[in-house]
A = this chain, B = another copy of it.
Amino acid sequence: MKSAARLDNTPIDVPRGLANVVVTETRLGDVRGQEGFYHYRQYSAVDLARSRSVEDVWRLLLDGELPTTEQRVSFAAEIAAGSRLSPVVRDALPLIATTAAGADSLAGLRITLALEGARAGLRPLMDLTRQQRRGDLIALAALAPTIVAAQYRLQQGQAPVEPRPELGYVANYLYMLSGQVVSADVVDALSAYLVAAIDHGFSASTFTSRVIASTGADAASCLVGALGALSGPLHGGAPSRALDTLDEIGSTDNIDAFITSRLQAGERIMGFGHPVYRTEDPRSTLLKQVAQRFGGARVDFAVAVEERIPALLEKFKPGRQLHTNLEWYAAVVMELCGLDRALFTPTFAVARLLGWSANVLEQADDSKIIRPSARYVGPPAPQPIPSETDARSAA
């Protein structure tokens, strides 16, 4: 990044959508699309997903190091302190859950985090020390599993379940959803997904969180804005669409007809393709293994569809490649873990909020606001304003 100040205001042209434009330097990680590899602070993300807890990886991203045993205990205490809603917001949850019942699946989480941030009277990040910022971000992100689980239960007509943070981040989330302590196998499977989903390069939502952070705004403003970007259909993050694809295909003998018609129409197949990876998506490779450890008809069917794609591509789009992305096996794994489709995107958000918290914390160290330009391409200005006898009289 150029650090020299520019003395003029000459517009700088870049590709549409800021593709490949370097907005910031980061120490949080990197996605190497050509290699099919991504990492969090120098450690392979999928290896972390196989071997470390969500808490360990969250702390790695926030603080730069995997925790020692003592650090793990103290970080768990910080998370636990943040996992309970304030009484006033808890009382408002039924109203929010009812009001948001017909909205997108992240709406209730956005509203509740904004309300909890306001209740806490969060101060602008730029007026805080790093330690205070970190505390605000942990407290908000750690509320997400509690909020998602409570709203889901309320929308099902069930009472929310109080958190038991001593179970661990993932086991507590599953406990708050079901009211039961689930098996270690299921916790491990969902952990693998959540760790793999925490961060993944400079997505539009991550970028949003950092643009808002660059204004010095409070932690809730950054995270709520990012949740808004994540809700966009172009963002990705709706693994339920992959199950919809599996349902549409229906059975093994319909795979060829379905895929062929999509390929010939040039239509996207949900669960396939990624703008960055030119190889297998390493997250998909990981979650396929996780799913296959459970096995079952759904897993076999998902694998059958995936494995049939190369032959069909060769026939109808020779030379092209099309790999499963995060959503394909993420959906299968979440279903195996007992999650309803309505919970898939909120669960992705539960993971991604941890990544945003680290991104916001890093951005807050930079005092420069992110403020690009637009090029005016309309009619020449200034033009005289048409007179209007009934327009408002001169101010």
User: A268 on the interface (CB 8 Å rule)?
Assistant: no
User: A118 on the interface (CB 8 Å rule)?
Assistant: yes
Give the interface size bracket for A toward B: 35 or more
Which residue of chain B has the shortest Cβ distance to A235 in the bound complex? B215
Which residue of the partner chain, among B23, B98, B110, B373, contacts A221 with CB atoms under 8 Å? Answer: B110
A121 lies within 8 A of B103 (CB): yes
User: A320 on the interface (CB 8 Å rule)?
Assistant: no
A42 lies within 8 A of B380 (CB): yes
Chain A 344-384 interface mask (CB, 8 Å, partner B; 1/0): 00000000000000000000001111111111111111110
A229 lies within 8 A of B215 (CB): yes
A25, A220, A225, A231, most chain B CB atoms within 10 A: A225
Which residue of the partner chain, among B33, B48, B373, B388, contacts A21 with CB atoms under 8 Å? Answer: B373
Which residue of chain B has the shortest Cβ distance to A379 in the bound complex? B42
Question: Smallest CB–CB gap between A306 and chain B, Å?
Answer: 20
B385 lies within 8 A of A48 (CB): yes
A residues with CB within 8 A of B: 1-3, 6, 9-30, 33-34, 37, 39, 41-44, 47-53, 56, 66, 69, 72, 88-89, 92, 95-96, 98-100, 102-104, 107-108, 110-111, 114-115, 117-122, 124, 126-127, 184, 188-189, 191-192, 201-205, 207-208, 211-212, 214-218, 220-222, 224-235, 275, 290, 366-383, 385-386, 388, 390-395
